[in-house]
Amino acid sequence: MTYAIIQPPFTLNFREMSKKELKDYFAWFQDVLPQRLDELSRAVQKTPGFETWQADFTPASLELLGRWFATQVETRPRTQDEIQEIESRLLFPIEVSGEDLTNRTFSFAVDTGMYLSQVFLKNHASLRWDQPFGNKKFVDYGQPVLEGFGAAPFNPARMLVTLAYGIFGKRKDGSSLRNLYDIWAKMIK
């Protein structure tokens, strides 16, 4: 399967990015979204067992996509420098995993998150894109999120990265993507 990993022309260090960079990031995210959905579709349909998957933006399409996504989560060893860098940021000692998701997995997570955002938008007219500013410590600060769920926005990229960590940790599985949609769909105001 040939798959082009997403190449954000930004640091993704959102707290450190200027407001202009963040706004450029938001515009870039929206701009590349259609291409990334095409890239995701091709990757899924070229995977044996998933050839029939169609990006039809129905909630049901998340079932097979979720099973595919779970088969794509891979890790790599963290370097000593990476472990030390994480440990240097810790406020108190935590055991840091010697493994992290591969760039390809992060990329699949962002692409799958983009697809999930479109499933939400096409099935729930009250939802809309937003980009929260204000508190730099807000977990979704400066990032593309969907608003309309109540208190918390839905950050498709972050939520899928979190799901990928869950699949790696065996706390989540191929049914989790559809479950995630169902949980948040119930929260729509």
Partner 1 sequence: MGEDALKLMGGESQVYYRTSQGGRYVDQLVDGFAHESKVGYTSLTSDISRQISKDVELIQTEQVQGATWHFFQSPVTGVGGPSQPLPNTLQQSGINVIIH
Does 172 participate in binding partner 1 (rule CB under 8 A)? yes
Report the SS3 class of residue 19.
Answer: helix
For partner 1, which stretch binds (CB under 8 A), given 27-35, 48-56, 60-68, 137-145? 137-145
Cβ 3 to partner 1 shortest distance, Å: 12
Report the SS3 class of residue 18.
Answer: coil
Q: Which two tokens stand for residue 24?
A: 């450029």
Please select the residue that binds partner 1; options are 1, 27, 60, 139, rule is CB under 8 A.
Answer: 139
Q: What is the spatial distance between Cα 182 and Cα 180, in angstroms, rounded to a whole number?
A: 5
> Which of 174, 180, 179, 175 has the alpha carbon at shortest distance from 70?
174
Q: What is the spatial distance between Cα 39 and Cα 59, in angstroms, rounded to a whole number?
A: 20
Q: Which two tokens stand for residue 127?
A: 């939802």
Does 8 participate in binding partner 1 (rule CB under 8 A)? yes
DSSP structural state of residue 154 = B
Please select the residue that binds partner 1; options are 11, 30, 35, 58, rule is CB under 8 A.
Answer: 11
Interface with partner 1 in residues 87-106 (CB under 8 A): 89-94, 96-97, 100-101, 103, 106
Which residues of the shown chain bind partner 1 in the complex (CB under 8 A)? 5-13, 15, 82, 86, 89-94, 96-97, 100-101, 103, 106-107, 110, 135, 137-139, 150-153, 157-159, 161-166, 169, 171-172, 176, 179-180, 183-184, 187
